Amino acid sequence: MALMLISQHPDTRHFYLLSDPFSRAALRLTTAGSSDWLTQEQALALARGGAGRLPTTLKLRSQAGKRLTDILWTAMPPLVCAATRVVDAMAERRLTGWSTYPVEVIHQGEFLEGYQGLAILGRGGGRDRTKSPIIDKPAPVPGGKPYRAYRGLFFDEDHWDGSDLFFVDGFIVVTQPAHDYFVRSKVSNIRLTPISEVEIDVALDRYMGGE
């Protein structure tokens, strides 16, 4: 595992949620049929850079989509892969709070070179729900039910370790310098949303330890 140093980066006044845009065209990966030995606990540890030595290299195969993008998301949400060009550029720009681990990506029966597993080492503590108003949202689909959502993904900056990429209750948050790199380099298959504009279904609290 290629460990990157964690240190505070200048100009971190603004934060953004880095998330899966759920593109139907983009290649999506799965562990099914290739790394069935991987447990959810191991996946979470990998995503956080704390899995230690695995019994074998993690193999991921295509599940849906065909388009090769800079970031490849998986059917096991903690796991994400990044193109080598993105990894190299983040290192050159001295962005902090991440590491990589080896993966084998299999697409259409062939080994796909140029990708590494991306682990997020940075920590921002838990969400501060007291800063997020609860809003009423209409049904997302015809015939569905309306729901309530928190407006904003806020956290206590006193618990943030200063990294450019970090977790807040399982959500990947990035600083302004990281955001600017992703945008200027046109890193594909990601969504970047200011944390003040993020909306999170209140119902998710039952799975994420909310009240």
> How many Å apart are CA 103 and CA 23, to the nearest integer?
22
pTM of the model: 0.89
Residue 128 CB contacts under 8 Å (≥ 6 apart), including other chains:
154, 155, 156
Q: Are strands 98-101 and 28-30 parallel, antiparallel or unpaired?
A: unpaired
Residue-wise pLDDT for 160-194, tens only, equals 999 999 999 999 999 999 999 999 999 999 999 99
Q: How many Cα atoms occupy the beta-carbon half-sphere of 183 within 13 Å?
A: 10
User: What is the per-residue pLDDT for 54?
Assistant: 79
Residue-wise pLDDT for 31-66, tens only, equals 999 999 999 999 999 999 987 777 889 999 999 999
Q: Would the pLDDT of 11 be above 70?
A: no
